[in-house]
Structure formats: C-alpha cells, structure tokens
Amino acid sequence: MRLKSCLVIVSLLCAVSAQAALVPCGQHPMELAHPSLVWKKFIDVAVRSRFADMDAVICAGKIAGSSLAERVTYRDADGQTQVARTIEELRNFQVLINAHDLPASIGGMVRTGGLVSLRIGEPRTEGENGVTHYPVAVRFHRALGRNVASDIREITLNAQLDYERDQARAERGGKFFDVLKIYIGVLPTRMEQIVLKEGTTTVDNFFTSTLERVGRLE
C-alpha cells in the first residue's frame, strides 16, 4: 500500500505539466505587467521520474541599460504554480512554493506547508554596467511524503547578469549551467539527485544527500 501511494504522488507531481509548453521569458502576463524591465531566462527547471516529466522556468527582469535585476518570476509549463517577487522581497528567505499552490490531487498527498524557499543576497557589480553577481540560496524539502521526517536541504549558487553579453547566467562551483534537473526517487518519495546542464552538456551531477542540511525553510 505504501509503494502504491508513492507511485501516485510521483506520477501526479510530474504529469500535471508534462504536455504544456513554456512561454518564453518576457511574454508571460506576469512579465508583461512590467514592460519597463528587460526579461531574461535565468534557468530551466526540469523534474524527472520514471513516470512523467515536469518543466518550469525562472526569469529575471532587469532594469534596462544596466545589469541590475528588479524582479524574479517562477512558473511551470501548465500554469499551476506562478510566483513573482521583487529582488528586495527576496533579501530574506521566502517560501515560494507551498503545498496549497499545487493542484488539489497533489496537495492532499504531499507534506503540508511550504516546500521550497529562496533567498537572493546583496549584489556585487564588476565595473560600470558590467557583470552583477547575486548570491542565491534555495532550500527545499528533500522528503516529499506526508508522514515522513523533515529533511530540508540547501543549495547555493551564483546568479550573474551580464550587461555586455545581454544575458543571465547561473554558476555553481565555477561551472555555468542553464538547466537544473531534479530526479525524484520512488520509495521513499524524495528529491534524490540533481544534474546541472549547459545546453545538452552535463556540467555537474550530485545526490541531494550531499547538500547541507538545515533546520527550516525560512
């Protein structure tokens, strides 16, 4: 019975967005509401399991003519989860994804409350209108099941906004990537492995158990 419940959770988590296409950064209503900003894709987020896939994107809205970001959006392909925050709001950890943000069929089976939080630190700019670096930390519940012990992990990375190249980039441990792929295990149901890619090339690959364990999302 436990295995059956785990299979249902994973298949529902991944199936809800499997067939929809992601709208390019700057063309979604959340981003069109701020036409003065220049929107760039930061990273694609992909969730993979044995049953289906889920895709999402993180976009950064930067001030025109500079390398400074003002807003961040996160949205999945099916439109079930849509989050927009200012950089100032994210100076401290904020829960971005809650169980109640998920479709009812999923939210009733995963742990209650917050699932993922984000913090963006103070920026550092190299030269006038050069590259601006933002330290980013993401905390998430590794264990997704409802009746399991809490296991919160933190991954840190560096977000870069490059004015001259007109692009946003993500870097971790000296390795640049534009895709963060998460693999979900079945028994127990948890975020098991993360693969970082630049295009189709894998630049890093590690188990979530190697990430720092923290006590809370915020």
Q: Outline where DSSP puts E strands in 149-189.
A: 152-162, 167-172, 175-177, 179-185
For residue 71, the SS3 value is strand
Q: Where are the domains of the chain?
A: 2-214
The arithmetic mean of pLDDT across residues 50-56, rounded, is 73
**188 band by pLDDT with thresholds 50, 70 and 90:** confident
Over the chain, what is the mean pLDDT? Answer: 85
Q: What pLDDT digit, counting tens, does each position of 124-169 carry?
A: 998 766 899 999 999 999 998 888 889 999 999 999 998 888 889 9
pLDDT reported for residue 1: 43
Which of 98, 127, 132 lies closest to 113 in space, CA to CA? Answer: 98
pLDDT reported for residue 7: 43
**101-129 burial by CB neighbour count: b if 16+ within 10 A, else e?**
bbeeebbebbbeebbbbbbbbeeeeeeee
For residue 92, the SS3 value is coil
Is the confidence at residue 95, as pLDDT, over 50?
yes
Task: Please confirm whether the linkage preceding 188 is cis (ω < 30° from 0).
Answer: yes
The arithmetic mean of pLDDT across residues 13-23, rounded, is 59
The encoded tokens of residue 73 equal 């959006």
Rg (CA), the chain: 17
Higher pLDDT, 129 or 88: 88
The helix/strand count (H/E) of the chain reads as 3, 15
Cα gap 34→97, rounded to integer Å: 22
Is the confidence at residue 13, as pLDDT, over 60?
no
Q: Which residues contact 6 (CB under 8 A, 6 or more apart)?
A: 145, 186, 187, 188, 189
pLDDT reported for residue 9: 47
pLDDT reported for residue 12: 45
**178 band by pLDDT with thresholds 50, 70 and 90:** very high
Is the confidence at residue 173, as pLDDT, over 70?
yes
CB 172 within 8 A of CB 158: yes
The encoded tokens of residue 116 equal 């993922």
